[in-house]
Structure 1
Amino acid sequence: MIYPENFEQKIEFYKIRQLVSDYCLSPLGKEKTEQMHFSASFSEVAATLSQADEFVRILREEESFPADHFYDVRPTLRRIRLEGSWMDTETMFQLKRSLQSIHAIVAFFNRPEKDMQYPHLTALAENVVIYPEILKKADTILNDFGEIKDNASSQLAQIRRDLATTMNGISKSLNAILRKAQSEGFVDKDVAPTMRDGRLVIPVNPSYKRKLKGIVHDESASGKTVFIEPSEVVEANNRIRELENDERREIIRILTAFTDYIRPYLPALLESYEFLAQIDFIRAKAKFALLIDAIKPVFEDTQQIDWVQAVHPLLFLALKKQNRKVVPLDITLQDEQRILIISGPNAGGKSVCLKTVGLLQYMLQCGLLIPLRENSKVGIFEKIFIDIGDEQSIENDLSTYSSHLTNMKMFVKNCDGRSLLLIDEFGSGTEPQIGAAIAEALLDRFNQRQAFGVITTHYQNLKHYANEHEGVVNGAMLYDRHQMQPLFKLSIGNPGSSFAVEIARKIGLPEDVIAQASETVGQDYINMDKYLQDIARDKRYWEKKRDEIRRERKRLEELSVKYETGLDEIDTQKKQIIAQAKQQAEQLIAESNALIENTIREIKETNADKERTREARRELSDFKTNIQAGEAKKGDRKHHPKTPQKIIAPSDAPLSQGDAVRLKGQTSVGEIVELSAKKATVAFGMIKSTVEIEKLERVSNNQLKKEKKMSNTRDVIFEKKLAFRQDIDVRGMRGDEALQAVMYFVDDAVQLGIERIRVLHGTGTGALRQIIRDYLRTVPEVSHYGDEHVQFGGAGITVIDLK
C-alpha cells in the first residue's frame, strides 16, 4: 500500500522513471517502464533486483551481448491474425532482424557457463520458443537491405528480367533518338533522358516540341522545357507499367504467403517479443544503475534500513553537472530504533534526508538498484506512507494542518510493523503547543504499532519522547557553529538544535530583540539548546578521534603484515641462494676433479714431458684464476678442448648493453641502450621504454633471425593486401590468357584473405564467361559465384565469394 496517491510526485519518482525510459531501445522497453510498480513481494523484488544486477555485470564485462534491432512489431502481428491480410516489406524486415536478436540473446544465455554467471536472466530465456525456420523463410525472401530478392519466386525473377530487358531497350531507343535530335539542333548537347510520371522522356525546348514526335507529359515550372515521350517508346513504356504492376502483385502474393506461413505461430511470436521487452527494460535499468553508481545491496526479508553512504540519485546527478558532490546519508532503522526523529536548523537537509529514504526504498521495491555502499542492508515494507509539503485543498476547503491531520488519521488506522512512515515537519501548521501535543500522541500510537519511520520536527517534546521511549531515537542534521552553515550530515543518537539565536544573530537581528526573545522563552530553554549543541560538538570531536585511532591502527596492522611478508620472502630467497650455491659448488668440485684427472693422465701419457707439463699446469692456473674472478664461462675455455665444456654458466646470464631482448610473454624485440641495477632502457623501434630487468628475456640470434623473417613476411603480405584490387578486367583477352590471369587473381585473393572479388569479362558470345566459370567450379576455396546485379553490370561480371 502506498499513500497518498501522488506518492511518486512527492518523491519525484516520475523523473527516475523517465531516465530509465530514455535508456530503452524500443517501445517494448518503454512500455515496461510505464508498467514499473511498487511490490511488497520479497521474492518478486529479489528476482527483479538480481536480473538488473546481472545485467550490470553484462554491461561491464561482456562485449558480445546482442543489443541491436529491438523492434516492436506486435501491432502488426496482432493485425495479421485476419485471413487474407499481410505484413508490408518494412515490417517483415523488422520482424526478421528482431527475431535474429531474440535468437542471439537466447543463444547467449543458453551457453553452459552463462547459467552459472547469470542464473536469473538465463531463467527468463529458458522458455522462449525460437523458430529458426521462420528466419530461413524470411531469408529466402528478403536480402540484407530489406529488399525483396529477385529469386523470392520464379515468377518475380521472370518479371524483373523482363523489366531489365525492356528498360535496356527503351534506353537504347531513347539514346538513339536523343543523339539524332542533338545532331539536328533542337535538343541541347548536355541533355539526358529523364523520368516523368514513371515514364522515360526527353527534355526539349518548347519551340522545337513539334520536331519530335511523341506525347508531351509535362513542362518545367519556368515553361522553358517540355518533356516528350517519343512515339517509338510509348509501347515499351506501357509495357514497363504493366510489368511494374505485375511486380507489385507478385510481391503482395509473396508477402501474403509468408504471412499465412507464420500465422499459426503468432501466439509464440508474441511471447518472444514479451521476452525482448523484458530484456530491453532490464538493460535500461542496468544502464541507469551505472549512471548513478547503484548496486544490489544485501536484501533480506525483514523490515530494516541499514544504509551506508546512501545518495539521493536526482541530487547526485544535479550536483554532478556542477562538479559538486552530494553528502551521503548513513541511516539505520531496526527493531530497537524503528522511528527516527530528525531535528536541526531549517535548510539543514532534514527534508532531503526524508526524501532520500522514501525515494530509495520505493526504487528498491520497484526493482531498481540503488546508490549506497556494498556493506549496506535493505529490507522490505508492505506499506509506505508519506506526509510532506503543502496539501491545502481549495476544492475541499482543507487547510495545510487539516490535510496533515487527514493523513495522520490514515496512518494511525493502517500502519503496523511492516509499515514505513515518512513525515516532514511533524505537528506544524497550527498553534505550537497543541500541535506539539497532538504530534506526541500520534508518535506514541505509531510506536505502539511497531511501525518504522523517519520524522522531521522542531518540537522539543518529541525529542524528549525519543530519549525516553524504546523504539524511537533522536537524530540531528549537523551544523557548523563557527562557520554558521549546515553540514548536511545526519548524526543518529542525539537531538539537533535549531540554532535559532545564532542564526538570528548572524543575519543581523538587533541584539535587544534577541535578548528579549531569549528572556521570553526562558534561560532554561536557551541553556538546553546550548547543551544540545555542546553534546553534538563533543560527539563529533570524539568520533573524529576514534576514526583517527582506527586509521592509525589499520596502518600499523598493514605495516606489520608488510614486514612479515618481507621477512618471509627474504627467508625464502636465502634458502634458494644457499641451495643454488651448494649445487654450483658440487658441480665445480666435479669439474675440478675431472680437470685434475685429465691433467694427470696427460702428464703420464707424455712421460712427463717438460713442455706439456708446463702447459697442463698453466691450464690449471688459468682455471683457478677464472674461478676466483667468477668468469669461468664456456667461451673462456675455447682453447682447452680436453677440459669440461661448462664450469660456471648460469642459464640466465646477466644482460648487458646491446643485447636483443623482449618482454616476457610478448613478441616485439628491442635492444638494450642503457642499463642500471634493476632497470633497463630498451629501444623498441623508435620508442624507448624503461623496464624492470626481471620482466625481460634475452632473444638469441637464431630467434632474432627467425622473427625478423616472419616480420618481413607479414609486412609483405600487409603491403600486398593494401595494393590489392578486388576487380580484374579480362575483356579483349584470349581464352588461355584470361584464364591464367583469373587463376593468379583468385590465388592472390585466397592468400590475402579477401572475401569477395569480381571478374569483368563482358557478355559477347559468353565463351569467356563459360571458361572462367568452368575453372571456378574446380576451386575448393570458392564458396559461390554468379552474375552481378543488373544495375552494376549483370551477366557481364562474375561475382566470386571466397571461403
Structure 2
Amino acid sequence: MKSPLHEIEFDRILTLVAMEAKSAPGKDAVARRHPLPTLTACENAQADLADMRRFVHTQGLMPLAGLTDVRALLARDSVLELEESWQVFRAVRATQALRETCTRTEGFLRLAAIASAIPELDELVGKLNKFFTREGKLREDASAELRAIRKRVPEKRNAVQRVLHDVMNKHGEAIQEPLIVMRGDRYCIPVRTDHRNAIPGILHERSGSGASVFIEPMQAIELNNDLADLLLQEREEIARILRFISQLIAEAADDIRAAIHVAGELDALQACAIFADTVGASRPSFNNDRRLHLIDARHPLLDERVQETDQPVVPVTVELRAATSALIISGPNAGGKTVALKTTGLLVAMAMSGLPLPAADGSMIPIVDAIHVLVGDDQSVTEHLSTFSAYLVRLKRVISAATERSLVLLDELGAGTDPEEGAALAAAVIEYFLERGALLIVTTHLSSVKSFAMNDSRVVNASMEFDTATGKSTYRLIVGIPGRSRAIEVAQVIGLPSPIIDRARERLGPRYVEVDQLVGMLQNKMSSVVEQSAELERRQAAAEEERQALEASRKKFDSERARVGSAFREELERLRDDVSRQVSNEIKNLRANANMRQVVTTLTKPIDQAIEFLPEERREVRVGHQAEHRKFKVRGVVESIDGTKAVLNVSGKRMTVDRKELLGLRDEGGGMKPSHKSFIPHPPSLIPETAELNLIGQRVDDALEASDKFLDRALLEGKQAVRIIHGFGTGALRKAVREHLRKHPAVKSWRPGNENEGGDGATVAVLEE
C-alpha cells in the first residue's frame, strides 16, 4: 500500500531536490525530509531555508568539496587502506571548512547555529594532514623510518640496474632485447632461449612465445635481495602508519559521524535553496487555525523551469478556513481537477518539511497532523483506473485515520457506480468530514454533489475553466461556481460522429441544456471577473514596484546628499585647518614687521579666495541695509555703493571697502534687514566687548600665546586700546607680558592700569591705528 505522501508524489520532489545536493550525506539528508509536527518547527525550518537562500545569493555556494559518506568505513573494525584513510581525512576536513565558513560569516545566525553543532576536529585534521600529499598519497616524510627507507630504495635500485646493464653489454649476443624487467619484485633481463646457459643466474619466467627467458644474473642476486628487503621494510612501515592513522580515526569516530550528519543537513539546506530559486519559491506563514491559502500555486513536476519545457504551468489559488473547510472541484475530464487536488496536498507537505513553496507571497499553510490522499491506483495525474470496491476499502482507511487536524484529499468521490447512489454516498462522506472538522478537498463530476455544496455554507464550489472555442480546458481554477463535465463538447472535439453528438443533446432535454448554458454564462462572467481582478493586481503590483523604485531613488539621493555633504564638511574642515596653520605661520613671520596693512592683507588673502566661490545671491547688499565684512567680521549699515566699492558705517566709523567683501544680512523671514542704527553687535567672539584678557593662573608661554591672538583680533576689530589682566603674584607674568607688549608691532604704547582698571595687576595697551 502506498503512503499518502507517495500518492501526492512527495518522494519525486525529494528526488528533484536531492539532485541539487553536492554530497552523498546531503542527498541522504534531503531524503529524510518529512512534514514537521509543530508550528514552531515548521517556521524554524523555513527560516533556515530563508537564511540559506540569502547566503547563496550573497556569498555563493558553501565549501563542500571532499564531503563523502564515510560512515561505513568508520563502522569497520579493521585497519583502513590508504585510499580509505584519505577519504575520511577529506570528509573531516570538509566538515571543518563548512563549520568555519558558516560560523565566521557575519549576518547568518541561523546557519551559524546549525554549523556550530559540527564537532571541532581541527586537531585531528592537523595530525592527519602530516601523512598525506595533496593527491592523497602517503608523504615521503610520513615517518622518519619511511623517509630513510625511501631514500635508500632508489640508490639500491640504481645499483641493480647498473649491474644488469653491464651484463647485457658483456653478453649482447645472448640478449633478446636490451630491457630490464620486473618479475616477482626481482629485476631480470630477457635472454634468448638458445643462449640461456650463457648467463648464469635464476630463471624466473619464460616468454609467451618461448623465444626468451627472464633470468636474474648471479651478479644481481644479492643486490636484488637488498632491494627486496628494503621494499618489505617500506610495506611494513606503511602498514604501521596506516594502523596509527586508523587508530586516530577510530578514536574520533563518533565526532566524525556527527560532523558528517550536520554537514549533510547543511548540504540539503543548500539544495533546497537552489531548488527554491529554480521554482521561484516564496516563504509561507503557518497557522494552527486551519487556514489554508495557496496563492498561484504551481506543481513542481509540471513547472517548465524544472522540466525545461516551453509549456508554462497554470497556477491555481486554493483557500480553505474553519468556516468553509471543504472545497468541491468539478469540471471536464482531463481539465486539471486532480492536478489541483494533488498540488494542494503536495505543497502543504513541502512547506511543512522545510522545502521551498512554489507559490506567491502571502500563502498560508495550516499545521496538519496528516495528509490523507485518495487518488486511485498507480496512475498519472489525469488517469483513473481503480475499481469502486478498491476505492471504498481505501476510503475506509482514510475515514478511520483522519482527525480534525487532518487534510483530506478525495479524487472523483462517488464515481465508479450508479450516479445517484454514488452522489448520495459522496454527500454523506463530505458531511462526515465536515462534522469531524477536517480540511477537505473533493473532485467530482456528479451534479447532485455540486448542488450539495451550494446548500451548505461550509462548502465552496470551484470549477476548472473550459475554453469553448478550442474545446480544451485552460486548467484555471475558478472558485465560486460549479463546473460542467463537458462530456458532449469533449466528444465532439475528439471527433465522434455528429448524429451521436446531436442525439446526446436531444436526450439531455431542453431544460438541462438551458441550465447548462446558464452555468456556462456564469463561468464566462466569473472568468471575466478573474481576469479583471488579475489585471487590477498586476496594476497594483506595477504601482507598488514603481513606488518602491521611487523610494529607493529617494534613499539613494539622500544617501548621496549625505555623502557629498560629509565630504564637503571634511573639505571645509581641512581648508580651515590649512588656513589656520597659514595664519599662524604668517603671524610669526610678520610680527616683527610694523606694516600692519601687509599683515592684514596676508591674513585675509584666503578669505578673498574663498569669497569667489560663494553664490552670487549671498553677496547682494543694498544701501540702508545691514552687511557684514567677511574679513573683519564686523557689522554695520551700508551708506552708499559706487560700482565695486561701498561705504560701511561701523559704530560711527566709515569704512570704504570692496563691495564683494560685504555679506548682506537677512532677517528671520529671509529678506534683507534695514536698520536705523549705526552698529549691530556681533555675536560673542574670543574678545569681549570690554576688550580685556584675563591671564591670571596661566603659565608665561601660554599667556603670551593668548596675548598674541587677543591683540591680533583686537587689531582686526579696530580696537584702540585693550586691557590685559595678569594679577600681582610674584611679578613674573606681569614682567613677561609688559616686555612682550613693548616689542609687539601692533602696540603703540602701554601703561599700568589706574586704580579702577586693576592697578599694577593689569596693563593697558594702546594699539596702532
Which residue does 2:479 correspond to in 1? 492
1:611-622 pair list within 5 angstroms: none
Which amino acid in structure 2 is aligned with residue 450 of structure 1?
Answer: G
1:262-273 pair list within 5 angstroms: 262-273=249-260
Hey, what's the Cα distance between the residues in 2 that align with 1:314 and 1:567? Answer: 42
Of 15, 25, 28, 2:25 maps to 28
Of 87, 90, 95, 1:102 maps to 95
1:188-227 pair list within 5 angstroms: 191-227=178-214
1:364-379 pair list within 5 angstroms: 364-379=351-366
- Cα deviation digits, residues 524-548 of structure 1 (max 9, x gap): 2222221111001012223334555
Check conservation: 1:47, 1:120, Cα contact below 8 A.
no
Which residue does 1:236 correspond to in 2? 223
- Cα deviation digits, residues 556-591 of structure 1 (max 9, x gap): 899999999999999x99xx9xx99972577899xx
1:653-672 pair list within 5 angstroms: none
Q: How big is the alpha-carbon RMSD for the aligned residues of Structure 1 and Structure 2?
A: 3.9
Whether 2:155 is the aligned partner of 1:155: answer no
Hey, what's the Cα distance between the residues in 2 that align with 1:560 and 1:43? Answer: 34
Check conservation: 2:300, 2:358, Cα contact below 8 A.
yes
Whether 2:280 is the aligned partner of 1:293: answer yes
Structure-2 change in CA distance of 1:405 and 1:177 (3 Å): same
Check conservation: 2:289, 2:322, Cα contact below 8 A.
no
Structure-2 change in CA distance of 1:88 and 1:514 (3 Å): closer
Of 341, 357, 364, 2:344 maps to 357
Which amino acid in structure 2 is aligned with residue 220 of structure 1?
Answer: S
Hey, what's the Cα distance between the residues in 2 that align with 1:319 and 1:102? Answer: 30
Structure-2 change in CA distance of 1:63 and 1:480 (3 Å): closer
Check conservation: 2:409, 2:442, Cα contact below 8 A.
yes
Check conservation: 2:326, 2:459, Cα contact below 8 A.
yes
Whether 2:130 is the aligned partner of 1:140: answer yes
Hey, what's the Cα distance between the residues in 2 that align with 1:562 and 1:147? Answer: 57
Of 54, 57, 60, 1:60 maps to 57
Which residue does 1:784 correspond to in 2? none
Which residue does 2:615 correspond to in 1? 583
Partner SS state of residue 202, structure 1: strand
Hey, what's the Cα distance between the residues in 2 that align with 1:512 and 1:97? Answer: 75
Check conservation: 2:326, 2:439, Cα contact below 8 A.
yes
Hey, what's the Cα distance between the residues in 2 that align with 1:49 and 1:518? Answer: 53
Check conservation: 1:391, 1:403, Cα contact below 8 A.
no
Unaligned runs of 5+ in 1: 393-397, 590-622, 624-803
Which residue does 1:339 correspond to in 2? 326
By how many angstroms is 1:440 displaced? 0.9
Hey, what's the Cα distance between the residues in 2 that align with 1:581 and 1:44? Answer: 65
- Cα deviation digits, residues 283-337 of structure 1 (max 9, x gap): 3333333443334323334433211221111122598433221111222122233
Of 177, 180, 184, 2:170 maps to 180
Which amino acid in structure 2 is aligned with residue 187 of structure 1?
Answer: I
Structure-2 change in CA distance of 1:283 and 1:585 (3 Å): closer
By how many angstroms is 1:492 displaced? 0.8
Check conservation: 1:348, 1:477, Cα contact below 8 A.
yes
Partner SS state of residue 368, structure 1: coil
- Cα deviation digits, residues 17-61 of structure 1 (max 9, x gap): 333333444432343344333333333333333333333333332
Check conservation: 2:478, 2:526, Cα contact below 8 A.
no
Check conservation: 2:85, 2:246, Cα contact below 8 A.
no
Partner SS state of residue 37, structure 2: coil
Hey, what's the Cα distance between the residues in 2 that align with 1:140 and 1:558? Answer: 57
Hey, what's the Cα distance between the residues in 2 that align with 1:108 and 1:61? Answer: 13
Which residue does 2:159 correspond to in 1? 169
Hey, what's the Cα distance between the residues in 1 that align with 2:613 and 2:136? Answer: 75
Which amino acid in structure 2 is aligned with residue 337 of structure 1?
Answer: T
Structure-2 change in CA distance of 1:568 and 1:53 (3 Å): closer
Which residue does 2:317 correspond to in 1? 330
Whether 2:423 is the aligned partner of 1:436: answer yes
Which amino acid in structure 2 is aligned with residue 143 of structure 1?
Answer: T
Partner SS state of residue 451, structure 2: helix
Which residue does 2:116 correspond to in 1? 126
Of 77, 86, 90, 1:93 maps to 86
Hey, what's the Cα distance between the residues in 1 that align with 2:229 and 2:44? Answer: 60
Hey, what's the Cα distance between the residues in 2 that align with 1:213 and 1:13? Answer: 76
Which amino acid in structure 2 is aligned with residue 16 of structure 1?
Answer: I
Partner SS state of residue 150, structure 1: coil
* Seq. identity, %: 30
Which amino acid in structure 1 is aligned with residue 175 of structure 2?
Answer: V
Hey, what's the Cα distance between the residues in 1 that align with 2:358 and 2:26? Answer: 23
By how many angstroms is 1:350 displaced? 0.9
Which residue does 1:775 correspond to in 2? none
By how many angstroms is 1:549 displaced? 5.7
Which amino acid in structure 1 is aligned with residue 89 of structure 2?
Answer: K
Of 295, 301, 304, 1:308 maps to 295
Partner SS state of residue 474, structure 1: strand
Structure-2 change in CA distance of 1:424 and 1:269 (3 Å): same
By how many angstroms is 1:488 displaced? 0.8
- Cα deviation digits, residues 327-364 of structure 1 (max 9, x gap): 11222122233211111111111111112112222223
Mean alpha-carbon deviation: is it higher for 543-552 or for 469-478?
Answer: 543-552
Hey, what's the Cα distance between the residues in 2 that align with 1:137 and 1:161? Answer: 23
Partner SS state of residue 491, structure 1: strand
By how many angstroms is 1:512 displaced? 5.0
By how many angstroms is 1:89 displaced? 1.6
Hey, what's the Cα distance between the residues in 1 that align with 2:477 and 2:386? Answer: 31
Hey, what's the Cα distance between the residues in 2 that align with 1:33 and 1:569? Answer: 42
By how many angstroms is 1:200 displaced? 1.7
By how many angstroms is 1:482 displaced? 1.9
Kindly tell me the number of residue pairs found equivalent between the two proteins.
Answer: 574
Q: Which has the larger radius of gyration?
A: 2
Check conservation: 1:319, 1:325, Cα contact below 8 A.
no
Check conservation: 1:53, 1:295, Cα contact below 8 A.
no
By how many angstroms is 1:416 displaced? 3.3
Hey, what's the Cα distance between the residues in 2 that align with 1:27 and 1:500? Answer: 50
By how many angstroms is 1:262 displaced? 4.6
Structure-2 change in CA distance of 1:158 and 1:428 (3 Å): same
Which residue does 2:726 correspond to in 1? none
Which residue does 2:367 correspond to in 1? 380
Which amino acid in structure 2 is aligned with residue 171 of structure 1?
Answer: Q
Partner SS state of residue 130, structure 2: helix
Unaligned runs of 5+ in 2: 380-384, 566-610, 622-643, 645-769
By how many angstroms is 1:490 displaced? 0.6
By how many angstroms is 1:472 displaced? 0.8
Which amino acid in structure 2 is aligned with residue 50 of structure 1?
Answer: A
Check conservation: 2:117, 2:262, Cα contact below 8 A.
no
Hey, what's the Cα distance between the residues in 1 that align with 2:552 and 2:102? Answer: 43
1:504-523 pair list within 5 angstroms: 504-510=491-497, 512-523=499-510
Which residue does 2:407 correspond to in 1? 420
Which amino acid in structure 1 is aligned with residue 52 of structure 2?
Answer: F
Check conservation: 1:39, 1:366, Cα contact below 8 A.
yes
